[in-house]
Chain A
Protein backbone atom coordinates (compact mmCIF):
# COMPACT_ATOMS: atom_id res chain seq x y z
CA UNK A 1 0.00 0.00 0.00
CA UNK A 2 2.79 2.36 0.96
CA UNK A 3 4.58 1.52 -2.22
CA UNK A 4 1.57 2.24 -4.34
CA UNK A 5 1.02 5.55 -2.58
CA UNK A 6 4.62 6.53 -2.93
CA UNK A 7 4.62 5.52 -6.54
CA UNK A 8 1.59 7.68 -7.28
CA UNK A 9 3.10 10.59 -5.44
CA UNK A 10 6.40 10.27 -7.26
CA UNK A 11 4.60 9.84 -10.57
CA UNK A 12 2.71 13.08 -9.97
CA UNK A 13 5.92 14.86 -9.12
CA UNK A 14 7.71 13.42 -12.14
CA UNK A 15 4.97 14.46 -14.52
CA UNK A 16 5.05 17.98 -13.08
CA UNK A 17 8.84 18.19 -13.35
CA UNK A 18 8.71 17.05 -16.95
CA UNK A 19 5.97 19.50 -17.73
CA UNK A 20 7.82 22.31 -16.05
CA UNK A 21 11.25 21.74 -17.53
CA UNK A 22 10.42 20.38 -20.94
CA UNK A 23 6.89 21.15 -22.09
CA UNK A 24 6.44 24.54 -20.45
CA UNK A 25 9.40 26.33 -22.08
CA UNK A 26 8.20 25.12 -25.46
CA UNK A 27 4.61 26.03 -24.87
CA UNK A 28 5.48 29.49 -23.60
CA UNK A 29 7.18 30.60 -26.80
CA UNK A 30 5.92 30.69 -30.32
CA UNK A 31 8.19 30.44 -33.33
CA UNK A 32 7.86 32.65 -36.37
CA UNK A 33 9.99 32.37 -39.49
CA UNK A 34 11.92 35.40 -40.70
CA UNK A 35 10.66 36.89 -43.97
CA UNK A 36 13.98 36.15 -45.64
CA UNK A 37 16.94 34.01 -44.72
CA UNK A 38 19.87 36.33 -44.36
CA UNK A 39 23.42 35.04 -44.55
CA UNK A 40 25.54 37.19 -42.27
CA UNK A 41 28.63 35.14 -42.99
CA UNK A 42 28.46 35.84 -46.70
CA UNK A 43 28.58 39.54 -45.87
CA UNK A 44 31.03 39.70 -43.01
CA UNK A 45 33.42 36.94 -43.97
CA UNK A 46 33.16 36.48 -47.73
CA UNK A 47 32.43 40.12 -48.57
CA UNK A 48 34.57 41.30 -45.63
CA UNK A 49 32.10 43.90 -44.48
CA UNK A 50 32.05 45.48 -41.02
CA UNK A 51 28.96 45.33 -38.82
CA UNK A 52 28.76 49.11 -39.03
CA UNK A 53 28.65 49.07 -42.82
CA UNK A 54 25.02 48.19 -42.57
CA UNK A 55 24.06 48.69 -38.90
CA UNK A 56 24.99 52.32 -38.73
CA UNK A 57 24.68 55.35 -36.51
CA UNK A 58 22.71 58.43 -37.37
CA UNK A 59 24.35 61.83 -37.14
CA UNK A 60 22.86 62.30 -33.65
CA UNK A 61 24.44 59.17 -32.28
CA UNK A 62 21.30 57.09 -32.24
CA UNK A 63 21.56 53.62 -33.65
CA UNK A 64 19.71 53.05 -36.87
CA UNK A 65 19.25 49.35 -36.14
CA UNK A 66 18.35 47.00 -38.94
CA UNK A 67 19.33 48.57 -42.26
CA UNK A 68 16.63 49.91 -44.50
CA UNK A 69 15.98 48.43 -47.91
CA UNK A 70 17.81 51.31 -49.58
CA UNK A 71 20.93 50.10 -47.87
CA UNK A 72 20.55 46.61 -49.37
CA UNK A 73 19.78 48.16 -52.73
CA UNK A 74 23.19 49.81 -52.79
CA UNK A 75 24.70 46.43 -53.72
CA UNK A 76 21.73 44.29 -54.64
CA UNK A 77 19.86 46.42 -57.12
CA UNK A 78 20.43 43.42 -59.38
CA UNK A 79 21.06 39.91 -58.01
CA UNK A 80 24.78 39.38 -57.43
CA UNK A 81 24.56 35.65 -56.98
CA UNK A 82 22.09 32.95 -57.74
CA UNK A 83 20.47 32.13 -54.45
CA UNK A 84 16.74 31.91 -54.08
CA UNK A 85 16.93 34.29 -51.13
CA UNK A 86 18.60 37.00 -53.08
CA UNK A 87 16.12 36.68 -55.91
CA UNK A 88 13.35 37.05 -53.37
CA UNK A 89 15.08 40.08 -51.89
CA UNK A 90 15.33 41.80 -55.25
CA UNK A 91 11.92 40.84 -56.59
CA UNK A 92 9.81 41.24 -53.51
CA UNK A 93 11.49 44.05 -51.64
CA UNK A 94 14.11 46.07 -53.51
CA UNK A 95 12.26 46.43 -56.80
CA UNK A 96 8.94 47.50 -55.23
CA UNK A 97 10.85 49.55 -52.61
CA UNK A 98 9.25 47.68 -49.71
CA UNK A 99 10.94 47.37 -46.32
CA UNK A 100 11.62 43.83 -45.14
CA UNK A 101 9.57 43.11 -42.03
CA UNK A 102 12.47 41.66 -40.04
CA UNK A 103 11.75 40.27 -36.62
CA UNK A 104 14.45 41.61 -34.34
CA UNK A 105 15.85 39.01 -31.96
CA UNK A 106 17.35 41.52 -29.59
CA UNK A 107 14.54 44.06 -29.61
CA UNK A 108 14.18 45.60 -26.18
CA UNK A 109 10.84 47.01 -25.00
CA UNK A 110 10.09 50.73 -25.34
CA UNK A 111 10.90 51.39 -21.69
CA UNK A 112 14.47 50.29 -22.22
CA UNK A 113 16.89 52.80 -23.56
CA UNK A 114 19.96 51.17 -24.97
CA UNK A 115 22.50 53.45 -26.55
CA UNK A 116 24.70 51.53 -28.96
CA UNK A 117 26.98 54.52 -29.35
CA UNK A 118 27.62 54.80 -25.63
CA UNK A 119 28.54 51.11 -25.47
CA UNK A 120 30.53 50.64 -28.65
CA UNK A 121 32.07 54.08 -29.02
CA UNK A 122 32.68 55.21 -25.49
CA UNK A 123 33.07 51.89 -23.65
CA UNK A 124 34.45 50.03 -26.69
CA UNK A 125 32.26 47.00 -26.13
CA UNK A 126 32.46 44.56 -29.04
CA UNK A 127 29.27 43.75 -30.91
CA UNK A 128 29.90 40.08 -30.13
CA UNK A 129 29.70 40.70 -26.39
CA UNK A 130 25.93 40.90 -26.63
CA UNK A 131 25.12 39.51 -30.07
CA UNK A 132 27.44 36.52 -29.96
CA UNK A 133 28.52 35.18 -33.32
CA UNK A 134 25.30 36.25 -34.97
CA UNK A 135 27.42 38.22 -37.40
CA UNK A 136 28.99 35.01 -38.63
CA UNK A 137 25.84 32.94 -38.88
CA UNK A 138 24.84 31.56 -42.24
CA UNK A 139 21.17 31.34 -41.64
CA UNK A 140 18.53 33.07 -39.57
CA UNK A 141 16.94 30.94 -36.91
CA UNK A 142 13.23 31.40 -36.32
CA UNK A 143 12.20 34.31 -34.15
CA UNK A 144 10.56 33.24 -30.90
CA UNK A 145 8.32 35.37 -28.74
CA UNK A 146 6.86 34.91 -25.32
CA UNK A 147 3.11 34.37 -25.38
CA UNK A 148 2.54 36.21 -22.11
CA UNK A 149 4.96 39.10 -22.22
CA UNK A 150 5.52 39.33 -25.96
CA UNK A 151 9.28 39.57 -25.49
CA UNK A 152 11.75 37.95 -27.82
CA UNK A 153 13.23 34.74 -26.44
CA UNK A 154 16.71 36.24 -26.71
CA UNK A 155 15.91 38.51 -23.78
CA UNK A 156 15.45 35.61 -21.38
CA UNK A 157 18.07 33.54 -23.16
CA UNK A 158 17.85 30.03 -24.59
CA UNK A 159 17.94 28.16 -21.26
CA UNK A 160 14.80 28.31 -19.16
CA UNK A 161 16.80 28.08 -15.96
CA UNK A 162 19.20 30.83 -17.07
CA UNK A 163 21.99 28.81 -15.48
CA UNK A 164 25.43 28.48 -17.06
CA UNK A 165 24.65 30.89 -19.86
CA UNK A 166 27.28 32.44 -22.10
CA UNK A 167 27.91 36.19 -21.77
CA UNK A 168 25.89 36.94 -24.87
CA UNK A 169 22.98 34.76 -23.90
CA UNK A 170 20.18 36.67 -22.28
CA UNK A 171 19.44 40.37 -22.38
CA UNK A 172 17.46 40.78 -19.22
CA UNK A 173 18.19 43.64 -16.86
CA UNK A 174 20.24 41.27 -14.70
CA UNK A 175 22.50 40.58 -17.67
CA UNK A 176 23.05 44.29 -18.28
CA UNK A 177 23.65 44.87 -14.59
CA UNK A 178 26.11 42.01 -14.38
CA UNK A 179 28.28 43.46 -17.13
CA UNK A 180 28.01 46.94 -15.65
CA UNK A 181 29.09 45.66 -12.28
CA UNK A 182 31.97 43.80 -13.80
CA UNK A 183 33.21 46.95 -15.46
CA UNK A 184 32.31 49.27 -12.62
CA UNK A 185 30.13 51.27 -14.95
CA UNK A 186 27.60 53.37 -13.12
CA UNK A 187 24.28 53.85 -14.80
CA UNK A 188 21.34 54.57 -12.58
CA UNK A 189 17.85 53.52 -13.56
CA UNK A 190 17.78 56.62 -15.71
CA UNK A 191 20.76 55.45 -17.69
CA UNK A 192 18.89 52.58 -19.26
CA UNK A 193 15.21 53.39 -18.89
CA UNK A 194 12.95 55.97 -20.33
Chain B
Protein backbone atom coordinates (compact mmCIF):
# COMPACT_ATOMS: atom_id res chain seq x y z
CA UNK B 1 0.00 0.00 0.00
CA UNK B 2 2.97 2.32 0.38
CA UNK B 3 3.48 5.01 -2.20
CA UNK B 4 5.07 3.98 -5.43
CA UNK B 5 6.51 6.54 -7.77
CA UNK B 6 3.69 8.36 -9.50
CA UNK B 7 3.07 6.74 -12.85
CA UNK B 8 1.97 9.91 -14.60
CA UNK B 9 4.71 12.42 -15.08
CA UNK B 10 2.32 15.30 -15.64
CA UNK B 11 0.57 14.93 -12.33
CA UNK B 12 1.45 17.29 -9.53
CA UNK B 13 4.07 15.68 -7.28
CA UNK B 14 1.72 15.45 -4.36
CA UNK B 15 3.24 12.42 -2.83
CA UNK B 16 6.92 13.05 -2.63
CA UNK B 17 7.18 15.19 0.42
CA UNK B 18 4.44 13.66 2.52
CA UNK B 19 5.85 12.85 5.89
CA UNK B 20 5.23 9.31 7.09
CA UNK B 21 4.22 9.40 10.72
CA UNK B 22 3.72 6.74 13.30
CA UNK B 23 1.51 8.19 15.97
CA UNK B 24 1.80 6.51 19.33
CA UNK B 25 1.28 6.97 23.03
CA UNK B 26 3.01 6.31 26.29
CA UNK B 27 0.63 6.06 29.21
CA UNK B 28 2.13 6.48 32.65
CA UNK B 29 0.20 4.05 34.81
CA UNK B 30 1.65 5.48 38.00
CA UNK B 31 -0.11 8.76 37.27
CA UNK B 32 -3.51 7.32 36.45
CA UNK B 33 -6.03 7.93 39.22
CA UNK B 34 -8.84 6.17 37.41
CA UNK B 35 -10.94 9.33 37.25
CA UNK B 36 -12.33 8.46 33.83
CA UNK B 37 -11.88 11.90 32.26
CA UNK B 38 -10.33 10.27 29.21
CA UNK B 39 -13.37 8.04 28.77
CA UNK B 40 -15.80 10.92 29.01
CA UNK B 41 -13.98 13.26 26.71
CA UNK B 42 -13.47 10.43 24.24
CA UNK B 43 -17.19 9.75 24.15
CA UNK B 44 -17.90 13.45 23.58
CA UNK B 45 -15.24 13.87 20.91
CA UNK B 46 -16.33 10.79 19.01
CA UNK B 47 -20.08 11.26 19.26
CA UNK B 48 -20.82 8.25 21.41
CA UNK B 49 -24.39 8.29 22.65
CA UNK B 50 -25.39 8.00 26.30
CA UNK B 51 -26.05 4.39 27.20
CA UNK B 52 -29.50 3.00 26.77
CA UNK B 53 -31.08 1.23 29.69
CA UNK B 54 -30.24 -2.23 28.33
CA UNK B 55 -26.57 -1.49 27.69
CA UNK B 56 -24.06 -3.05 30.07
CA UNK B 57 -20.33 -2.99 30.55
CA UNK B 58 -20.14 -5.75 27.96
CA UNK B 59 -22.25 -4.07 25.30
CA UNK B 60 -21.28 -0.46 25.90
CA UNK B 61 -19.08 1.63 23.63
CA UNK B 62 -16.02 2.93 25.41
CA UNK B 63 -13.42 3.53 22.74
CA UNK B 64 -11.12 4.53 25.56
CA UNK B 65 -11.72 2.30 28.54
CA UNK B 66 -10.11 2.39 31.94
CA UNK B 67 -9.78 -1.04 33.50
CA UNK B 68 -9.34 -1.43 37.25
CA UNK B 69 -6.42 -3.81 37.83
CA UNK B 70 -4.65 -5.29 40.81
CA UNK B 71 -1.80 -7.60 41.67
CA UNK B 72 -4.19 -10.39 42.72
CA UNK B 73 -2.88 -10.46 46.24
CA UNK B 74 -5.38 -10.86 49.05
CA UNK B 75 -6.83 -7.81 50.80
CA UNK B 76 -5.57 -5.69 52.47
CA UNK B 77 -2.06 -6.09 51.10
CA UNK B 78 -3.39 -5.92 47.57
CA UNK B 79 -2.00 -3.28 45.25
CA UNK B 80 -4.34 -1.87 42.71
CA UNK B 81 -4.49 0.72 40.01
CA UNK B 82 -5.91 1.45 36.59
CA UNK B 83 -5.06 0.73 32.99
CA UNK B 84 -6.52 3.06 30.36
CA UNK B 85 -6.91 1.15 27.11
CA UNK B 86 -7.52 2.82 23.79
CA UNK B 87 -6.90 0.87 20.60
CA UNK B 88 -3.26 -0.23 20.67
CA UNK B 89 -2.82 0.86 17.02
CA UNK B 90 -0.77 -2.24 16.28
CA UNK B 91 1.81 -1.92 13.55
CA UNK B 92 0.87 -5.46 12.54
CA UNK B 93 -2.81 -5.40 13.37
CA UNK B 94 -4.53 -8.77 13.71
CA UNK B 95 -7.85 -7.09 13.00
CA UNK B 96 -6.79 -5.74 9.62
CA UNK B 97 -5.83 -9.19 8.40
CA UNK B 98 -9.21 -10.72 9.11
CA UNK B 99 -11.65 -8.08 7.88
CA UNK B 100 -13.26 -9.56 4.76
CA UNK B 101 -14.05 -6.26 3.08
CA UNK B 102 -11.21 -3.93 3.87
CA UNK B 103 -13.09 -1.94 6.45
CA UNK B 104 -9.92 -1.96 8.56
CA UNK B 105 -6.73 -0.41 7.36
CA UNK B 106 -3.38 0.55 8.76
CA UNK B 107 -3.22 4.13 7.59
CA UNK B 108 -0.04 4.50 5.54
CA UNK B 109 0.54 8.12 6.49
CA UNK B 110 -0.23 8.14 10.19
CA UNK B 111 0.07 4.55 11.34
CA UNK B 112 -3.42 4.73 12.78
CA UNK B 113 -5.40 1.51 12.55
CA UNK B 114 -8.53 2.75 11.15
CA UNK B 115 -12.02 1.32 11.11
CA UNK B 116 -14.54 2.44 8.54
CA UNK B 117 -18.00 1.92 9.98
CA UNK B 118 -19.54 2.68 6.60
CA UNK B 119 -17.70 -0.20 4.99
CA UNK B 120 -18.21 -2.57 7.88
CA UNK B 121 -21.06 -5.07 7.65
CA UNK B 122 -20.82 -6.18 11.24
CA UNK B 123 -19.39 -9.70 11.08
CA UNK B 124 -17.38 -8.98 14.28
CA UNK B 125 -14.45 -11.16 13.17
CA UNK B 126 -12.09 -8.29 14.02
CA UNK B 127 -13.47 -8.20 17.56
CA UNK B 128 -12.69 -11.85 18.00
CA UNK B 129 -9.22 -11.32 16.59
CA UNK B 130 -8.29 -8.38 18.82
CA UNK B 131 -6.62 -9.53 22.02
CA UNK B 132 -7.00 -6.08 23.60
CA UNK B 133 -10.80 -5.93 23.34
CA UNK B 134 -10.36 -2.52 21.80
CA UNK B 135 -13.22 -2.97 19.37
CA UNK B 136 -16.82 -2.22 20.14
CA UNK B 137 -19.99 -3.15 18.32
CA UNK B 138 -23.03 -0.95 17.93
CA UNK B 139 -25.67 -3.25 19.37
CA UNK B 140 -28.28 -0.55 18.85
CA UNK B 141 -28.60 2.66 16.89
CA UNK B 142 -27.19 5.54 18.88
CA UNK B 143 -29.86 7.69 20.46
CA UNK B 144 -29.54 11.09 22.05
CA UNK B 145 -32.10 12.72 24.30
CA UNK B 146 -34.14 15.25 22.35
CA UNK B 147 -32.02 18.21 21.34
CA UNK B 148 -28.76 16.74 22.55
CA UNK B 149 -27.81 15.76 19.01
CA UNK B 150 -26.99 19.44 18.60
CA UNK B 151 -23.89 18.85 20.68
CA UNK B 152 -22.43 16.38 18.19
CA UNK B 153 -18.96 16.98 16.88
CA UNK B 154 -19.10 17.54 13.10
CA UNK B 155 -15.55 16.25 12.67
CA UNK B 156 -16.72 12.69 13.39
CA UNK B 157 -19.61 10.88 11.73
CA UNK B 158 -22.00 9.11 14.09
CA UNK B 159 -22.09 5.36 13.63
CA UNK B 160 -25.17 3.32 12.97
CA UNK B 161 -26.22 0.04 14.53
CA UNK B 162 -24.64 -3.16 13.38
CA UNK B 163 -21.10 -1.93 12.82
CA UNK B 164 -17.86 -2.13 14.73
CA UNK B 165 -16.04 0.96 15.91
CA UNK B 166 -12.86 1.68 17.76
CA UNK B 167 -10.46 4.36 18.87
CA UNK B 168 -8.69 5.96 15.94
CA UNK B 169 -6.63 8.48 17.87
CA UNK B 170 -9.27 11.19 17.35
CA UNK B 171 -8.86 11.32 13.59
CA UNK B 172 -11.24 14.30 13.48
CA UNK B 173 -8.56 16.32 15.22
CA UNK B 174 -5.93 14.97 12.85
CA UNK B 175 -8.05 16.17 9.92
CA UNK B 176 -8.29 19.65 11.40
CA UNK B 177 -4.54 19.75 11.89
CA UNK B 178 -4.09 18.66 8.29
CA UNK B 179 -6.41 21.37 7.00
CA UNK B 180 -4.55 23.98 8.97
CA UNK B 181 -1.21 22.70 7.69
CA UNK B 182 -2.44 22.82 4.11
CA UNK B 183 -3.42 26.46 4.49
CA UNK B 184 -0.15 27.23 6.25
CA UNK B 185 1.70 25.48 3.47
CA UNK B 186 3.66 23.02 5.56
CA UNK B 187 3.51 19.34 6.31
CA UNK B 188 4.86 19.64 9.78
CA UNK B 189 1.85 19.23 11.97
CA UNK B 190 0.91 17.24 15.00
CA UNK B 191 -2.18 17.20 17.15
CA UNK B 192 -3.52 16.09 20.51
CA UNK B 193 -6.20 13.45 20.92
CA UNK B 194 -9.00 14.28 23.32
CA UNK B 195 -7.93 11.85 26.04
CA UNK B 196 -4.40 13.22 26.10
CA UNK B 197 -5.72 16.72 26.46
CA UNK B 198 -8.16 15.70 29.19
CA UNK B 199 -5.95 13.68 31.51
CA UNK B 200 -5.75 15.73 34.71
CA UNK B 201 -2.46 14.15 35.76
CA UNK B 202 -0.93 14.33 32.29
CA UNK B 203 -0.42 10.61 32.32
CA UNK B 204 -0.61 10.27 28.54
CA UNK B 205 2.13 11.43 26.19
CA UNK B 206 1.24 11.43 22.50
CA UNK B 207 3.32 12.03 19.43
CA UNK B 208 5.12 10.69 16.40
CA UNK B 209 7.17 7.58 17.13
CA UNK B 210 9.04 8.09 13.85
CA UNK B 211 10.40 11.32 15.25
CA UNK B 212 13.42 10.24 17.28
CA UNK B 213 13.44 13.43 19.31
CA UNK B 214 9.83 13.43 20.34
CA UNK B 215 9.00 12.90 23.99
CA UNK B 216 6.94 9.88 23.09
CA UNK B 217 9.85 8.19 21.28
CA UNK B 218 12.17 8.83 24.17
CA UNK B 219 9.67 7.54 26.73
CA UNK B 220 8.87 4.48 24.68
CA UNK B 221 12.51 3.45 24.92
CA UNK B 222 12.62 3.83 28.70
CA UNK B 223 13.37 0.54 30.47
CA UNK B 224 10.22 1.06 32.52
CA UNK B 225 8.09 1.19 29.40
CA UNK B 226 6.33 -1.88 28.13
CA UNK B 227 3.57 -3.02 25.83
CA UNK B 228 0.72 -5.36 26.55
CA UNK B 229 0.98 -8.86 25.11
CA UNK B 230 4.14 -7.96 23.24
CA UNK B 231 4.83 -11.65 22.62
CA UNK B 232 1.89 -11.88 20.27
CA UNK B 233 3.91 -9.82 17.84
CA UNK B 234 1.20 -7.33 17.03
CA UNK B 235 3.61 -4.42 17.65
CA UNK B 236 1.32 -2.02 19.46
CA UNK B 237 2.11 1.68 19.23
CA UNK B 238 0.58 2.36 22.62
CA UNK B 239 3.20 1.91 25.31
CA UNK B 240 2.75 1.90 29.05
CA UNK B 241 5.10 3.11 31.70
CA UNK B 242 5.41 2.26 35.36
CA UNK B 243 8.10 2.36 37.95
CA UNK B 244 6.33 -0.40 39.86
CA UNK B 245 7.19 -3.93 38.97
CA UNK B 246 3.73 -5.33 39.64
CA UNK B 247 2.28 -2.96 37.06
CA UNK B 248 4.88 -3.91 34.48
CA UNK B 249 4.09 -7.53 35.19
CA UNK B 250 0.59 -6.95 33.90
CA UNK B 251 2.02 -6.92 30.39
CA UNK B 252 1.93 -10.67 29.90
CA UNK B 253 -0.22 -13.33 31.44
CA UNK B 254 1.43 -14.93 34.41
CA UNK B 255 3.51 -17.79 33.01
CA UNK B 256 3.83 -19.39 36.39
CA UNK B 257 0.12 -19.96 36.56
CA UNK B 258 -1.95 -18.51 39.28
CA UNK B 259 -4.79 -20.77 40.15
CA UNK B 260 -6.42 -18.29 42.50
CA UNK B 261 -6.99 -15.92 39.61
CA UNK B 262 -10.73 -15.87 39.47
CA UNK B 263 -11.33 -16.97 42.99
CA UNK B 264 -14.04 -15.09 44.78
CA UNK B 265 -15.26 -13.48 41.62
CA UNK B 266 -18.12 -15.80 40.95
CA UNK B 267 -19.28 -17.38 44.15
Task: Name A residues whose Cβ lies closer than 8 Å to a Cβ of B.
Answer: 57, 60-62, 109-111, 113, 115, 117-118, 121-125, 182-191, 193-194
Q: Which listed residue (A122, A124, A182, A194) contacts B175, Cβ 8 A?
A: A194
Most interface-central of B1, B116, B174 (chain A CB within 10 A): B116
Assign chain B's interface to a size class: 35 or more
By DSSP majority rule, is chain B's interface helix, strand, loop, or mixed?
loop
Whether a CB of chain A sits under 8 angstroms from the CB of B256 is: no
A-B interface contact total, Cβ < 8 Å: 105
Measured between beta carbons, the chain A residues less than 8 angstroms from B172 are 194
Q: Fill in one digit per residue for B52-69: 1 if any A CB lies within 8 Å of its CB, else 0.
A: 000000000000000000
Q: Which listed residue (B5, B106, B114, B182) contacts A122, Cβ 8 A?
A: B182
A62–B157 contact, CB under 8 A? no
Among all A-B residue pairs, the 7 with the closest Cβ atoms = A184-B6, A61-B179, A61-B183, A183-B11, A117-B182, A111-B157, A188-B107
**A117-B110 contact given A111-B118, A123-B12, A184-B7, CB 8 Å threshold:** no
Q: Which listed residue (B154, B171, B179) contacts A115, Cβ 8 A?
A: B179
- Which residues of B (2-29) have their CB < 8 Å from a CB of A? 2-8, 11-12, 14-15, 18
**Cβ distance A178 to chain B, nearest Cβ, rounded Å:** 12
**A190-B107 contact given A122-B14, A184-B4, A184-B11, CB 8 Å threshold:** yes
A189–B108 contact, CB under 8 A? no
A182–B114 contact, CB under 8 A? no
Most interface-central of A183, A185, A190 (chain B CB within 10 A): A190
Give Cα A175 to B5, complex, Å. 21
Closest to B184 in A: A61
